[in-house]
Amino acid sequence: LTDSYASVEKNEVWLNNFHINPYSPAQQYNLNPTRQRKLLLNRREINKLIGRAQEKGYTLVPLKVYFKNGIAKVELSIAKAKKLHDKRATIKKREANREIEKAMKKGRGQDH
């Protein structure tokens, strides 16, 4: 699910960058594992997704994939991209946690 997203093209919903491992017994027919895949939705669902997904800064992302009666199902959500200041805050927090972990590891070695 990492780095995958859905897009709307010509009133059809497509799943992009979604990795599905190749079926090993069918080696000679293996296709690109991250190729674009068409999602089957009814017209009402597509129209609902088109309205929000085509606004600036919004994208469709798959939340989970599950199987029901032998058919793969994808749960989609509309997500808004992070602003630049949000990204900076996330990076600062990650770096602070890294420093704390480093300090804790150093402290453990000195307890002897």
Give tens-digit pLDDT for 16-55.
888 877 777 766 776 777 778 888 888 888 888 777 777 7
CA 63 to chain centre: 7
Q: Which of 79, 80, 13 is nearest to 45 (CA)?
A: 13
Provide the token pair at 24: 């090993």
Q: Is the pLDDT of residue 83 over 80?
A: no
Q: Is the pLDDT of residue 112 over 60?
A: no
pLDDT of residue 110: 60
pLDDT of residue 82: 66
Q: Is the pLDDT of residue 15 over 80?
A: yes
Q: Which of 112, 26, 18 is nearest to 63 (CA)?
A: 18
pLDDT of residue 9: 78
Cα–Cα distance, 67 to 30 (Å, whole number) = 22
* Percent of the chain with pLDDT strictly greater than 70: 86
pLDDT band at 84 (very low <50, low <70, confident <90, very high): low
Report domain extents, the chain: 5-81, 82-112
